[in-house]
Each structure stands twice: as structure tokens, then as C-alpha cells.
Chain A
Amino acid sequence: MSEASSDSAWAWRTATTELLARTRFITPSRLPAAVAEAAGKAGTTTRMYLGDHEQRRLRPFPAVGDPFRIDASPAGMAFRTTSPEREGGWLWYPLLDGTERLGVLRLEAAAADRSDAAVRAEVDRFVALVGHLIAVMSAYGDAFERIRRSEPMSAAAELVWQMLPPLTYGADNFVISAILQPVYTMGGDAFDYGVFDSTLHLGIFDSTGHHLRAGLTTAVTLSATRAVRRAGGGLMAQARAADEALASEFGDSRFTTAVLATIDLASGAVRYVNAGHPPPLVLRKNEIVATLDGGRRLPLGLGGIAAAEEPAEVRLETGDRLLAYSDGVIEALARDGAPFGIDRLTELAARHAADGLPAPETLRRMNHDVLAQYDGPPADDATLLLVEWAGDAVGRLAP
């Protein structure tokens, strides 16, 4: 290792320590300045950009200067591919909270020589810490949210967003990612997931009605199923808990369609209950190899008549993808009938998967393709949820 390289790696290590020290007792608004001061130890200026919730633009934080389009800029390229991107003397680095994409950080390329493994490792570590700090500090103020919102959020959307887990999570041999629209006015759609030991639990939900009314229904359903899951309860118990919670909380026949599922991450075995929701698809290369239309029962909230006694089962093979969606997606893709909509959806999934993109980028593009079908704002909430199992899915998320 040359002396210059070792000096630079050491300077970045100092910058990381400095960043930890400087951010312990500061407000979120001061994070960009703290990052810049710490990175100064490694000889570079920094500029922070956060992705907006519709995942179309990277907005400067603090809000000085113009945003960049994610689809058409070197900064956007770093965000899309979750890999650093060179632009002249700048280096655009993806900002991730683990695997969730938050934005990009601009560094000076001369101070972050990626051809040197020791320097690269230290820069990666510094930028990873910035991503974690954004995620942690988001709980304490609105500085990040104000940047990430391009318009005010409805009360219903506010309610639903705060219940959702991060849009992307990957570990070991799986990645789960989801996207919801319309970002600022959605109400009835939601998704959930959680890993316990080697089981991935997941759910997709769509409640009757619109706006806050639908959001409240979804809040009750999601809370009921999650509480049972966290107490160790199975899929049938989760569904029953939602039935009971909705029935006791509301006097009408409102309901939530849902698929509740578990994936055994060791074997790929999927167990699921389908409570009146459009059946998720198992995709192998470009083909639908299974449709999750077993385990049928009435929507959550309507009790257990005609309910399957046991969850249905299907088995994933290495490299398979599980794609769940809400009816808003199909309605957008096919105004004139179901088969066409599902064909289009499968075709979109196949086309974007063929590019070898990370799962969240596949969904971002599919989502924008779906939205492009509308002349105006979407008529209904539209949710896409994608699970990639046992391939190199996680590897594609790393910077």
C-alpha cells in the first residue's frame, strides 16, 4: 500500500469517527453541515440529495439549487443502480439505510479514489454511516420529510405511511421491496413484512372506501395482524384477529382484502391465506409458474364463512420472484378486462428484471409504467410488492 493511499484511508477513517462525534446531539437540519465538516477531514466537500417519495427526483438538502431527475442524471444513475457514479470531478454515492434507498451524496472524486481498495472501504463506511444517520434522525423531526415531499400529504396518506416498514429490505438470501401510489393521497393500500429467524412474514392489504376512512380500516387490519404475528401467531390466527378487530371497531360491513404469507427462507416454501385479494404471482424467468389463488376466504372483516381450514402452499425455486399487487395496478393496465392487465404486469416484470436491476429499481420503473397509463391522477391506490428469493438479489443492492 502506498503512503498516499494509506494516508487517504486513514483520513476517511478519521472522518467517520468525527461524524459520529459531531452528530450525537444535533438536530436533523444540521446533519448536512456535520457531514461536510467531517468529510473535510478527508479533503472533500459534500452535497446531500434526498429522493422524493414518488422516486422521480433527487432534491438538495439543504434546499438550495435544483433537483436532479432520477431517470436522467449521473446522480440519478447512482440512485438507480445503488453504485457510485463518476461525473467529471464529482463522485455520486448512493445513500442507503441498509438496503433502502434514501438519496445520494456528492463527493470530490480526487479525495475518494475507488481504485484503491483500502480507500474504497473507508469511503463506503463513511457514506453508509450517513445513510444510517438519516434513517435514525428521521424519527426526531421533519427536516428530511420536508425535502422528500413535493406536495403536502393527506391525513390518510400520513397515517398509512407511518405504519409501513421501509420500502426495501434485503438480508442473506432474499430481498423484499414495495412501492405505493398515489404517494400523497393514498388511503386503503398497505403492505407489511417482518423476518423472524428464517421465516419471512409478509402481507398486502387493500381496504374498502377511500381516503381517511379506508386508511383507518387498513390501520386496524394491519395492527391486528401484526400484533398476532409478533406474539407468534400463525396466518389463520392473524386473519381471525383482523376479522374480530374490524367487526368490533366498525358497525358496517367494511373489509380489507389481503394476502398473508410466510416464506421459509431455507427451503423456499410459501404458506399463504388469500382473503379476497388479487392472487400474487410466482415468476420464474419470464413465466408465471404459480398463482396464489388457494387458501381462499372472505375478505378480512367478514368472518370465516367459506374459509380454507389451512393455509395453501407453494414452493419457490432459487431465483424465483413473488409479485403481489393491488387491483389498482390491474385497473390501470387494463381498462377493458383482467387477462390483458395481468399479461402487461408480467411483461413489465420480465422486461425490467432482464436488466439485472436491484428489486427496488425494478419496482420503481414498473410503478412509473403503471402511472403512465393514467391521464390524470390514479383512480385508485396501486401497490406492487416483490420478493426475490435465493439468487444474487442482495448482491445487487450493495454499493
Chain B
Amino acid sequence: MDMVIRAAAIYMFLLILLRLMGKRTLSEVSTFDFVLLLIIGDATQNALIEQDPSLTTAILVILTLVLLDLALSFLKRFTGLESWVEGRPVVLVAYGQPIARHLRASHVSHDDILQAARLTQGLERMNQIKFAVLETNGGISIIPYPHATP
């Protein structure tokens, strides 16, 4: 009973925390972020199983987390929860012009957009980008002008 409640509380806390940290945080996982995730996992482990190393506890905690995730995916499909949990895409560049307010609020720099443009489309300049969109998974999708495609 107690372990299920603890697992549910940790799940909800991490869900809200990662949502509040923003889309870019989830997408751009640097080496340091990876180490940070490991530390978070280690800190979470103690709270989840406390001092009970039994197989039963491990199975119950894992079941709780996976089934909560399943329940959330159902809720996202059948209610308006999806936009709340996943967010909505944000247009960062429209017709070659960066939208400063959206960049600032999303914590995305010009360099991030140009990097995505170089990596995904082989573009060289901002004015070759028709649209840049910050997707709900944190990635930046680039739609180039037709004549700018190499």
C-alpha cells in the first residue's frame, strides 16, 4: 500500500517537474544532464523502496509506474489532458523572421535554430528558413523555403 502511494507521488512529482522545466530541457540532454538524470534516479530509488529490497516491492513499484503511465496515455487520448501534459508546438521562426518573444519564453537561441537548420536541412542562414517550430517533444523542426533546399 505504502509503496504504491510513494511510487504514485514520485511519478506525479516528476511529471509536473519535467513539464515545468520546459520542452528544451527534455530534448537537449548533454553529458552533464545525463549524469544529473542518474543522480535523480538514485535519489528516487531510496524514496521508492525505502529499506525493503524484496522482489515483491520492486515488482509492485515498477507495475505502479508503468500502469500510471498507461493510464495517463489513455487520459491524454480521451480527455483534453494531452495539451496540458505534452504542451503545444510553438512557432519560433515565421517566414525567415525569428519571433523574439517565443524564443525568449521557450529558452531557445538563434544558435539553436541555426544548428537545427544545419543538422536537419543543411541550411546556412536564417532567411532560408520558412518556419522553425519547437515541437512538443522538445525538438526543433525546420521547414525551409523551397529554393533554399540544397
Co-complex (A, B): no
Where the two chains meet, the residues of B that have a C-beta atom closer than 8 Å to any C-beta of A are none
Where the two chains meet, the residues of A that have a C-beta atom closer than 8 Å to any C-beta of B are none
